[in-house]
Amino acid sequence: MELKKQARQQAGLLSERFSKVSGIVINITYFHNAENPVLMERKINVFPSSYAYFNMECMIKGCDNGGFDLTSVIANQIKHHKTSVKGKMDCKGEHVDLTTDLASIAYEINVKYNKSSKKVSR
């Protein structure tokens, strides 16, 4: 828990790291290998006063060192001034139970830029 807190602080605030961004909305659907593959849907609002920390935990119990790091996806999106990106990502963690598949996510990230910023379509 303490390491996670330190990682958030080291990431800095959104307003400091990406000054042209007024907000980010991250929609994530978590999947796992089961009869009903949708494990959870999640919406995360990132404000200028929020930490620019985009490493989402794996939701599979017993997953070690897993998760979904969207930092490079978001940094690239902002670098190219895109308002929306979609994609998929697999968890690279290790499971205690080797018979269980790891999780994956589908994500949609929407970035809102300050009015002074030039917009580029998807």
Per-residue pLDDT tens over the stretch 48-81? 999 999 999 888 887 888 899 999 999 999 999 9
Q: Look at residue 62 in the predicted model and tell me its pLDDT.
A: 79
Q: Does residue 115 register a pLDDT over 90?
A: no
Coil vs helix vs strand at 6: helix
3-state secondary structure of 25: strand
Using CA atoms, how far residue 74 sits from 3, 68, 106, 113, 115, in Å, is 22, 12, 14, 13, 19
> What pLDDT sits at residue 96?
65
Q: Give the CA dihedral 119, 73, 12, 18, nearest 10 degrees.
A: -10
Task: Name the H helices within the chain.
Answer: 2-11, 14-17, 71-79
Which pTM does this prediction carry? Answer: 0.86
Whether pLDDT at 97 is above 70: no
- Residue 60: the pLDDT is 84
Count CB atoms within 10 A of the CB of residue 44. 15
Q: pLDDT category, 100, cuts 50, 70, 90? A: low
Distances from the Cα of 26 to the Cα of 55, 70, 105, 109, 117, angstroms:
12, 10, 12, 5, 20
* Residue ranges of domains in the chain: 2-113
Instruction: Tell me phi and psi for residue 16, to 5 degrees.
Output: -85, -40
Residue 112: the pLDDT is 97
Percent over 90 (pLDDT), the chain = 65
Is the pLDDT score of 106 beyond 70? Answer: yes
Give the confidence band of 98 by pLDDT, cuts at 50, 70, 90: low
